[in-house]
Amino acid sequence: MTTEKPLRIAMVGHGCMGAAHSQGWRVAPRFFDLPLRPEMALLVGRDASRTEASAQQWGWAEVSTDWREAVTREDIDVVDIVTPGASHAEIAVAALEAGKHVLCEKPLANTVEEARAMADAAERAAGRGVRAMTGFTYRRLPATTHARNLVADGAIGTVRQVRARYLQDWLVDADAPMSWRLQQEHAGSGALGDLGAHIVDLAQYVTGHHLTEVSGTLQTLVPTRPLPGNDGGAAERASVTVDDAALFTGRFDDGVLGTFEASRMATGSKNALQLEISGSLGALRFDLENLNYLDFYDTAAAPDRQGFTRIMVTEPEHPYVSAWWPAGHSLGYEHGFVHQAKDLVEAIAAGTQPAPSFADGLQVQEVLGAVSRSADKAGSWTPVR
């Protein structure tokens, strides 16, 4: 049974990711036997009424409009950051220096320099027993964790090629309104950081290899968007200052070759994160839009049985699944956030470094930075560091 010792959480920011993280904190101690009991103590947002409404809906005990309260209150143990990327570094560094454990949504920051400052702060804090984690939740789906385990066990032999795509279509309408995600000063980048960060991390996590150089291109397909809030007349339009689509190839260590695509303009694709890994003895395929399944190809199968086999990753022997439902009962998107909360609580209690660390988040940021630099140089091959 979960211990009675509390771990008091403050979450800075809300919105879609706030709802997802709240679900994780709320549900994790009810399905997993945790060594500490998470308490949803404080929700921070800029607008008092909206923050109060979110707190009531999601189950937070108190609200504030100043993130510094989360950092300075002695009764807060963990600061969970789900704000736009422009504020990640300031909040995370202050929290770590105040002795708070930190969970920060991806991408870790808007620039490599900010991410490095965060990783350095996390390294200093680790010496005092303070932990920091980057929120790459797609690592924590049973199917992707199972894929990682299969690769590590040699099930597909030597990894040779990686194909990764993350496709959405919520910006296909050229009159979809402007948002912070389309402004460089708030988001850092567009599809590259929003979606590309996920596929870079997942490809590296599953294969165990790291990208060393990249060649890429970025494009803004709709250069202006209407400002929100018009009263039915012709809306004033503002410039989009980030990319709508990112395409890049990459070389991993040990000669592995990768191709990557991130787009928020892929008509018909709602949340299609797809990963395919080809090896000397087999292959794996995963699609987030069918997240309870993993396709596995085994070259050792008899010729009359060759082909991808679909594994339904809902057995108690699969990662995380034993805490949930009977075999064959599907899990969903929100379960990754529950597993994230579980893993962070266990790491804090054990005094160990949770993964992915801020150093891992920095490494992904360095890949994204290299893609951006390559795009500025007409796609020339660019080292990650």
CATH number for the domain harbouring residue 294: 3.30.360.10
Closest to 54 (Cα-Cα) out of 13, 7, 104: 13
Phi, psi of 190, rounded to the nearest 5 degrees? -100, -115
Q: What is the per-residue pLDDT for 385? A: 87
Give the residue from 116, 138, 160 where a domain finishes.
138
Tell me, yes or no, whether 146 and 134 share the same domain: no
* Side chain identity, residue 62: E
Tell me, yes or no, whether 188 and 324 share the same domain: yes
Q: What is the per-residue pLDDT for 235? A: 73
pTM of the shown model: 0.96
Contact 64, 44 (CB under 8 A): yes
Tell me, yes or no, whether 148 and 55 share the same domain: no
Tell me, yes or no, whether 107 and 179 share the same domain: no
Give the residue from 138, 170, 194 where a domain finishes.
138
Does residue 71 lie in a domain region?
yes
Tell me, yes or no, whether 168 and 304 share the same domain: yes
- Cα separation, 364 vs 139, whole angstroms: 14
- Cα separation, 300 vs 18, whole angstroms: 46
User: Going by C-beta distance under 8 Å and a sequence separation of 6 or more, which residues neighbour residue 229?
Assistant: none
Closest to 74 (Cα-Cα) out of 151, 28, 8: 8
Tens of pLDDT, residues 276-307: 999 999 999 999 999 999 999 999 999 999 99
Tell me, yes or no, whether 131 and 278 share the same domain: no
Tell me, yes or no, whether 170 and 96 share the same domain: no
Tens of pLDDT, residues 122-170: 999 999 999 999 999 999 999 999 999 999 999 999 999 999 999 999 9
Contact 286, 294 (CB under 8 A): yes
Tell me, yes or no, whether 189 and 78 share the same domain: no
Tell me, yes or no, whether 158 and 287 share the same domain: yes
Tell me, yes or no, whether 131 and 154 share the same domain: no
Domain encompassing residue 316: 139-353+364-376
Q: Tens-of-pLDDT digits for all 385 residues of the chain?
A: 556 799 999 999 999 999 999 999 999 999 999 999 999 999 999 999 999 999 999 999 999 999 999 999 999 999 999 999 999 999 999 999 999 999 999 999 999 999 999 999 999 999 999 999 999 999 999 999 999 999 999 999 999 999 999 999 999 999 999 999 999 999 999 999 999 999 999 999 999 999 999 999 999 999 999 998 755 556 799 999 999 999 999 999 999 999 999 999 999 999 999 999 999 999 999 999 999 999 999 999 999 999 999 999 999 999 999 999 999 999 999 999 999 999 999 999 999 999 999 999 999 999 999 999 999 999 999 999 8
Tell me, yes or no, whether 178 and 77 share the same domain: no
Does residue 358 lie in a domain region?
no
Q: What is the per-residue pLDDT for 4? A: 75
Give the residue from 95, 123, 138 where a domain finishes.
138
**Number of domain units in the chain:** 2
Tell me, yes or no, whether 309 and 174 share the same domain: yes
Report the 3 state secondary structure along the chain.
CCCCCEEEEEEECCCHHHHHHHHHHHHHHHHCCCCCEEEEEEEECCCHHHHHHHHHHHCCCEEECCHHHHHHCCCCCEEEECCCHHHHHHHHHHHHHCCCEEEEECCCCCCHHHHHHHHHHHHHHHCCCCCEEEECHHHHCHHHHHHHHHHHCCCCCCEEEEEEEEECCCCCCCCCCCCHHHCHHHHCCCHHHHHHHHHHHHHHHHHCCCEEEEEEEEECCCCEEECCCCCCCCCCEEECCCCCEEEEEEEEHHHCEEEEEEECCCCCCCCEEEEEEEECCEEEEEEHHHCCEEEEEECCCCHHHCCCEEEECCCCCCCCHHHCCCCCCCCCCCHHHHHHHHHHHHHHHHCCCCCCCHHHHHHHHHHHHHHHHHHHCCCCCEECC
- Cα separation, 292 vs 191, whole angstroms: 25
